[in-house]
Structure 1
Amino acid sequence: MKPRAVIVGAGLGGCVLAHALLDTHEVVLVERGASAEDPRFPVVDVGLPAVTQPHVGAGLGGTTQLWHNGLIEVDAEIFSAHWPFPKTELDPFYEQAFPLLSNTSLAQVRAAVDDLRRRYRDLGLPEGLMQGLYYPRWPLNLWESLKLQGRLEVLRGDVVDFELDPAGGIASLTVEEGGQRRQVGGDVFLLAAGGLGSPILLQRLAERAPLPALRHAGAHYEDHPMGFVGEVEVTVPLYRLWNYRVPGTDGNLRLPLVVKRNGLHMSFQMRPAANYHRASRRERVGSVLNDLRRNPWNPLHYVKLFKHWDDILDILSFKFGIHLPTRHYTLLLCAQMPTAPELSIWSRREASGQEVRVRRWHLGEQFRLDARGAVDDVLAWLAPVTRRSRVFNGWQDDLRSAAHHSGTARLSSDAESGVCDPDCRVHGVANLYVCDGSLIPSSGIANTGLTIAALALRLAAHLRRQPSPTRPRE
């Protein structure tokens, strides 16, 4: 008899987990959302506003229905400083995950990164850290691309409680839908409800099992601050390289420039600017590319493009490989955020009776000082190939969330510093695991999607090695 795996959440982590476990486990997937943007489960910001909308996903496929999911590995230095194991532990799973998310091999992209770094040096850019960020030409809804429909049991509903067994493990979940409750039993339980969802479920568990590790649920929150910080006019034909088509693939490679300040990594993408002098327009540029990538047949998105000529340059390069010669670029910051062991994610009941997730995101003064210093550093780095540059006034006021919610059920070597052990198991609970962005103790400047998929494959490999359960199932 196959062990029964109950996965909570049908987003990136849940879909990859289900795909990887189907051969060895009976898989049940619990999903509460009816569509990609489900208004029944809102997020309320009590700190800085997210601005990026939507910044959570629901339904089958989760945020893979919404975002294009640039693929980038977390830097080895970030693993050494923040993770309970080295990057080499995750490397084989990065290699397995990459083609699942892009239909391209990681080895091919790594080779292209090395080649593109050489081309940048040949243009006269100084040596420095340039991390490879690969965009497949078309986004993938993982529920569809992994062909999960009909291969597993899907239960609709919201997990509202946990039932414990005498040994201290999870016996079942209480799932509510339409006012009706049911118990869902299993042998192993896997939370993949996202960086804003899994910590709230763990807080519910803490009401029944006040374990030391669960004090960290909802704390150590990390989300990349993003925003346009300035513009440069370069003296070299960078337009040939900024959005580089990887040979043998239909995807594009970009090399964010990464500087370090006070232990934080801060990256800068160079995006072509249609007109260097349109300052008032450039300081509040709005991108519709994600909308267009998700729904290329909606004519309204093309109308919006004409309000933002810089996006036209971007899409001509991204979709059609057309690189118009420009020497004007804006700098898009994506920064590592310092984390703290304070509660940042929780739930509350509104007067209407509706339950909401609450998110407290804030950026301290030291981070703002470091970010300003990083802008100076990257302009100094680019100086050998720059004719002139300008920093936007008030750019820090426009920083927004990147929707890379992580750290809220973080991996740690012990229960005193995090929620999950290096095998992704909740400290102190025999058969409860987490597998989504909440696991990631730090991502540096990397989008989290590729790392979530790699962690899911690593966890699936661990579970396949476990002995089959011997306890009876109701």
Structure 2
Amino acid sequence: MKPRVVIVGAGLGGCMLAHGLLESHDVTLIERGTEPVDPRYPVVDVGRPAVTEPHFGTGLGGSTQLWHNGLIEIDEEIFATQWPLPKSALDPFYERAFPLLSGIQIGQVREAIEALRRLYVELGVPEGLLQGLYYPQWPRNVWKSLGLEGRVKIVRGDVVDFQTNAAGAIASLAAVEDGQQKQIDGDIFVLAAGGLGSPALLQKLAARLPLPGLRHAGCHYEDHPMGFVGEVEVTVPLYRLWNYRVPGTDGNLRLPFVVKRGGMHVSFQLRPAASYYRESRRERVGSVLNELRRNPWNPLHYLKLLRHWDDVLDILSFKFGIRLPTRNYTLLMCAQMPAAPELSIWGEEGVLKRRWQLSQDYQRDLGDSVRDVLAWLAPVTRRSREFPGWLDELRTGAHHSGTARMSEAAESGVCDADCRVHGLPNLYVCDGSLIPASGIANTGLTIAALALRLAEHLRSRTASYS
């Protein structure tokens, strides 16, 4: 008889883990949401407002129903300084996850990154840290792309409690749907409810089990501050490179410029602009382009483009490979954030609360980083400027992480290097909350790699017991 694994959350982490366990385990997925954005589960900001919405996705596939996931590896330096395991431990799973999310091998992209770096240098851009961000041509809802329909059991409901046994292990979960409570039994339990959802569930468990690691649930929060911070007019034809079509694929590669300030990595993407100086600039990171990527067949989105000329340039390159010879670019910043040691995510009165704050020292470092990147680009720049007031317009990247982070010991985090909650034999975490530091990387590829690594770990445990 196969061991029973119960996964809470049918987003990227939950679906990828289910995919990895189908042959070895009896898999049950618990999902509370019925739509990609479910108003029954609001998030209330008590710190800096998010602006970018939604905070997270619900339903089968989670946020992969909403966002066109850029694929990027977390930098090796971040692993070496802030993870309890080296990047080499995750590399085999990056290699397995990449084709599942893109349809191509990661080796093709790694080779293209090196080739593109050389092309930047040949154009006169000074050498520096250029980190590769690959966009598949089409987004993928992992529930559908992994073919999970009919292969795993789905339970609809909101997990509200845990039951433990005499040995101190989790015995079952209690889930509520339409006022009816049901009990879900299992042998192994995995929280994959996201960087906001999983810590709230662990806080429920902490009320029953006062384990040291559970005190960190909802703490050590990280997200990526994002925003347009300036613009440049360049003297070289960067339009040929900024959105590079990887040979043999339909996907695009971008190399953000990465500078370091205050121990943090801060990245800057070039985005083509219709002119150097505009009376108004884009007010939303999620702009019309993101709406088109999610739903390219809606004609209303194309009509909206008439009011967003910069997005016209962006989508012509991204979707159709047409590169108009502009020399004007805005700079989109995506910054690593120092982990907030205090409680930042918690459940209260039926809602999730999020405290997202940027210290004054950190804001000064961000300001210095903008000037750093403008100085870096100066050899290929005719003129440049920093936007006034951009710090006030920074918004969350919705890459919620760190809130059930992996650590060497329970004194500094929630989970061990195998994703298991410190002090519990059969409870694991498998989503963005597990990531102790992401640098400037979107978290999707790393979540998928961690899920495949956890699946291998659970399969090996099963084999050793049989």
Sort the TM-score into its range (normalised by shorter chain): over 0.9
Residue 288 of structure 1 aligns to a residue in which SS?
helix
Between stretches 461-470 and 254-263, larger displacement belongs to 461-470
Instruction: Please state whether the residue corresponding to 1:265 is helix, strand or coil.
Output: strand
Deviation of 1:279 (Å): 3.6
How far the C-alpha of 1:294 sits from its partner, in A, is 1.0
Task: Give the one of 375, 378, 381 matched to 2:376.
Answer: 381
User: What does the per-residue CA deviation read over 1:314-361, in whole Å, with 9 as the maximum and x for residues that have no partner?
Assistant: 000001000000000000000000112200000111xxxxx1000000
Is the CA contact 1:194–1:436 (under 8 Å) kept in the aligned structure 2? yes
Q: Pick from 386, 392, 398: which aligns with 1:403?
A: 398
CA contact (8 A) 2:212 2:411 kept: yes
Letter of the 1:103 partner, please give it: G
Local SS of the residue matching 2:462 = coil
| Distance of 1:464 and 1:56 partners within structure 2 | 29
Pick which of 171-180 and 286-295 moved more. 286-295
Q: Residue 137 of structure 1 corresponds to which residue in structure 2?
A: 137
Shift, 1:470, TM fit = 7.9
Alpha carbons of structure 1 residues 469 and 180: separation in structure 2 relative to 1, 3 Å: farther
> 1:5, 1:12 → 2: CA distance?
17
* Distance in 1 between residues matched to 2:151 and 2:414, nearest whole Å: 31
- Give the whole-Å Cα distance in 2 for the aligned partners of 1:164 and 1:439: 22
Q: Distance in 1 between matches of 2:408 and 2:282?
A: 45
Distance 1:417 1:64, change over 3 A: same
Q: Conserved in 2, the CA contact under 8 Å of 1:231 and 1:331?
A: yes
| Partner SS state of residue 280, structure 1 | coil
1:3 shift after superposition: 0.3
Quote the Cα distance in structure 2 between the aligned partners of 1:168 and 1:444: 36
1:137–1:250 CA contact under 8 A, matched in 2: yes
1:103 aligned to 2:103? yes
Q: Distance in 2 between matches of 1:443 and 1:321?
A: 30
Distance 1:47 1:182 in 2: 35
**Per the alignment, in what secondary structure is the counterpart of residue 108 of structure 1?**
helix
Partner SS state of residue 319, structure 1: helix
- Residue 345 of structure 1 corresponds to which residue in structure 2? 345
Query: What's the counterpart of residue 366 of structure 1?
Result: 361
Could you tell me which amino acid in structure 1 is paired with residue 304 of structure 2? Answer: K
Tell me the SS of whatever aligns to 1:465: helix
Aligned partner letter, 2:102: S
* CA distance in 2: counterparts of 1:257 and 1:27, whole angstroms: 42
Residue equivalent to 2:318: 318
Contact 2:227 2:285 survives alignment (8 Å): no
SS in 2 for 1:89: helix
CA distance in 1, matches of 2:187, 2:245: 46
Q: Secondary structure at the match of 2:196?
A: coil
Matching residue of 1:262: 262
Instruction: Please give the TM-score of this superposition, normalised by the length of structure 1.
Output: 0.97
Task: Give 2:40's aligned residue.
Answer: 40
Q: Distance in 1 between matches of 2:297 and 2:202?
A: 41
List, as ranges, runs of 4+ consecutive aligned residues in structure 1 with deviation greater than 2 Å: 279-286, 467-471
What is residue 385 of structure 2 aligned with on the other side? 390
Is the aligned partner of 1:451 residue 2:458?
no
Aligned partner letter, 2:411: E
Cα deviation digits, residues 203-226 of structure 1 (max 9, x gap)? 000011010000000000000000
Unaligned runs of 5+ in 2: none
> 1:280 Cα shift?
2.6
Matched residue, 1:352: none
Structure 2 partner of 1:157: 157
- Alpha-carbon distance between aligned partners in 1 of 2:332 and 2:433, rounded to the nearest angstrom: 25
Letter in 1 for 2:454: L
Q: Report the Cα distance in structure 1 between the residues aligned to 2:295 and 2:357, rounded to whole angstroms.
A: 32
What is the CA–CA distance in structure 1 between the aligned matches of 2:284 and 2:436, rounded to whole Å? 32
Counterpart residue type for residue 165 of structure 1: N
The residue aligned with 1:281 is: 281
CA contact (8 A) 2:269 2:333 kept: yes
Shift in alpha-carbon separation, 1:60–1:286, aligned structure 2, 3 A: closer
Corresponding residue for residue 296 of structure 2: 296
The verdict on how the C-alpha distance between 1:35 and 1:221 changes in structure 2, with shifts beyond 3 A counting, is same
Query: In structure 2, do the counterparts of structure 1 residues 286 and 452 end up closer, same or farther at CA, with 3 Å as the change threshold?
Result: closer
For residues 116-195 of structure 1, what are the structure 2 equivalents within 5 Å? 116-195=116-195
Query: CA 1:431/1:124 → structure 2, altered by over 3 Å: closer, same or farther?
Result: same
Contact 1:283 1:392 (8 Å CA) reproduced: no
Unaligned runs of 5+ in 1: 350-354
What residue identity is the alignment partner of 2:432?
G
Asked if the contact 2:104–2:249 (Cα under 8 Å) also holds between the matched residues in 1, the reply is yes
RMSD, matched Cα: 1.2
Deviation at 1:469, TM superposition (A): 9.8
Q: Which whole-Å CA distance do the structure 1 matches of 2:29 and 2:357 have between them?
A: 34
